[in-house]
Structure 1
Amino acid sequence: MTTAPTPGRALVVGEALVDVVRRPDGTVTEHAGGSPANVALGLARLGRHADLLTWLGIDAYGDLVQRHLSASGVNVLRGTTSAISTPVATAHLDEHGAATYDFDLTWDLPASWDEPVDPPLVVHTGSIGAVVAPGAQEVASLLASRRATSTITYDPNLRPALMGTPEQTLPLVETLVLLSDVVKVSDEDLAWLLPGVAPAEIAEDWTRRGPALVVVTHGGDGAFASTASGARVTVPAPPVQVADTVGAGDSFMAGLIDGLWTAGLLGVARRPELHEIDAPTVEAVLERCAQIAAITVSRPGANPPTSAELASL
């Protein structure tokens, strides 16, 4: 891996919302969340310029989200239209800290928004905003149009309660997979989406069909990566005392983008090099991603580490 970061910015597209977390002991907390918003937060804490294009209401929850993201340096883009109310996700934690979700939300994109003129180095999307109508079609169109100028990254981060059946969701997911240069997906997502098919088999199939890199996360068992050039890499997860798993995959995704950024592999001009990424580079990036996710799960909520925290380890 190279050590000098490439300048530029990331454009993250998707939902920002308020997570209402209900714990087994009956305590309830509220904090800003949403998978794409968490990725933008993770990137900003790692020192990257992160713009977030999202769909918030003009209300107290919307103010909470904006304050939370701005405090870490995320630039929430101003749109000409907004949601009637800010989306809410209720996370029910079990005794092991694993979360299941209920949602009260709508999703769309602003009619237009105030974005810097220079194209972003990378455009990221995932989860609810990439699948739920009416905004999902606009997200897919935006990704297709940005491929000419930017690296495209995608994390399905599926929410079955909002996405219909696996048979309905698979074509939507694979459309975005084939638009993407980098895909990160959890083994749980793949087990729901394509039951009975080995995650590594799916990752290898996807890299044969479009993306340069597909990473499958396996929670406490680490991660597996497949590349278009034929490399296969597995890394373990560091041992950690889990507070909860909220935001773990999002912090891993932010680390993946950041690692490829540091390696000088983001931006449309670097697409050929990204497709030839070698196993040692993948391994180094994923080991750092696993470290980032381990820090996140060691403390409550979607609270990814800063670059200074990583440097101190």
Structure 2
Amino acid sequence: MARVLVAGEALIDVVRRVDGSVEAHVGGSPLNVAVGLARLGHDTELATHIAGDPYGALIVGRLGEDGVQLVPGSDTATRTSTAQATLAEDGSASYEFDIDWRFEQQLSPDFGHFHTGSIAAVLQPGAIQVEQAIRAAREHATISFDPNARPSLMGDPHDARAQIEQLIGLSDVVKASDEDIEWLYGQQASLDAVLALWARLGPSLTVATRGPDGARVHLARTGEFADVLGASVDVVDTVGAGDSFQSGLVSGLLDAGLLGGPDSRAALRGASLTDVLPAAARAVACSAITVSRAGANPPHREELPS
């Protein structure tokens, strides 16, 4: 099976709960995706930017526990980045970041799929380096991208949208939340219209998540849309839910042979809804399990419904 390379930020989430308690957890959207993929049985490596400090050691330990390989050169930062996550009564989280993002590793072309997104895609100087890596990786790997908008870091939505659409055009699969789309395109934006717009830029499959209501899926080739229903669960918090969805989606498409290299790119381009919906259903299941417990704690493969 194709090796997966995930590129992006790894950081420490300092979580402040409603009861006043404070906890430190390993986090970062790309790291969460890498851990989720490894737990689902995929050979996964992470290219990131951390320091050799105590927070960096926590991250290295977490990756080791879950079998994620750290790409050499990922530990050259002067400090490990942090995010202050404040939880609301309903379990939702708001974030403030202290991020230093650079992407200077020399990647060996031994992976079949490349995933990136979130802060790594827009925060300079690393963002331009990520884009260059994607352009090189397209020769031998499929690409997935999750904008995972962070308004406090991304500035003006119009400026962020230009960079995000550039990366969408280089991707085979794009997933975003309805909240991401609203921030990027405004409250009146139609999910279907945005998914169709993105499909015209290049991806074969575009997906919008809708929290407890599941997800909306769009195929570029046929122009079809489909809904995947959400699962009914008791929500503890939503930290890492979108990342877990992303892991499940990529995992399902890898297992179906629709991601993992140039031949898989062609297969995805010709796929039907019947071909892709099982992967979307796996993604919903992964997200539901994650929100049912505290923190960004994605499921192992054996936890998924058979």
State the TM bucket, normalised to the shorter chain: over 0.9
Q: The residue matched to 1:242 in structure 2 has which SS?
A: coil
Q: List aligned pairs for 1:296-311, cutoff 5 A.
A: 296-310=290-304
Residue 83 of structure 2 is aligned to residue 89 of structure 1: yes
1:169 aligns with 2:128: no
Deviation for aligned residue 1:277: 1.5
1:204 paired to 2:207: no
| CA deviation string 1:265-296 (max 9, x = no partner) | 11112212101211112221111110110000
Selected match of 2:209 from 208, 217, 221: 217
**Counterpart Cα distance in 2 of 1:89 and 1:201:** 32
Secondary structure of the residue aligned to 2:12 is: strand
Structure 2 residue matching 1:152: 3-state secondary structure: strand
The 2-side partners of 1:129 and 1:86 are apart by 14
The Cα offsets for residues 31-89 of structure 1, whole Å up to 9 and x where unpaired, read as: 10000000000000001010100000110000001101110100011207611100000
Instruction: Output aligned runs, 1:276-291, within 5 Å.
Output: 276-291=270-285
- Unaligned 5+ residue runs, structure 1? 1-6
CA-CA distance at 1:118 after TM superposition: 4.8
> Which one-letter code corresponds to 1:152 in the other structure?
I
Structure 1 residues 118 and 133, CA, compared in 2 at 3 Å: closer, same or farther?
closer
**1:238 match:** 231
Task: Report the Cα offset of residue 92 of structure 1.
Answer: 0.5
The 1-side partners of 2:146 and 2:72 are apart by 24
CA distance in 1, matches of 2:247, 2:62: 17
Q: 2:257, 2:267 within 8 Å by CA — same for their partners in 1?
A: no
Identity over the aligned pairs, expressed in percent? 46
Q: What code does the residue aligned with 2:121 have? A: A
Candidates 48, 52, 60, aligned match of 1:58 = 52
3-state SS of the aligned residue for 1:179?
Answer: coil
Higher mean displacement: 296-305 or 266-275: 266-275
Give SS of 1:300's match: coil
Distance 1:118 1:34 in 2: 24
The separation in 2 between residues aligned to 1:194 and 1:80, in whole angstroms, is 34
- The answer to whether the Cα contact below 8 Å between 1:130 and 1:140 also exists between their aligned partners in 2 is yes
Which TM-score applies when normalising by structure 1?
0.94
Measured against aligned partners, the alpha-carbon deviations of 1:77-119 in whole angstroms (never above 9, x if no partner) come to: 1207611100000101000000000011110013x34x5x453
Write the letter of the residue equivalent to 1:309: E
Q: Deviations over 1:252-277 (max 9, x none)?
A: 00111100001011111221210121
Give the counterpart letter for 1:127 in structure 2. S
Distance 1:121 1:250 in 2: 20
2:169 aligned counterpart, secondary structure:
helix
**Distance across 2 between alignment mates of 1:179 and 1:15:** 20
1:263 is aligned to 2:263: no
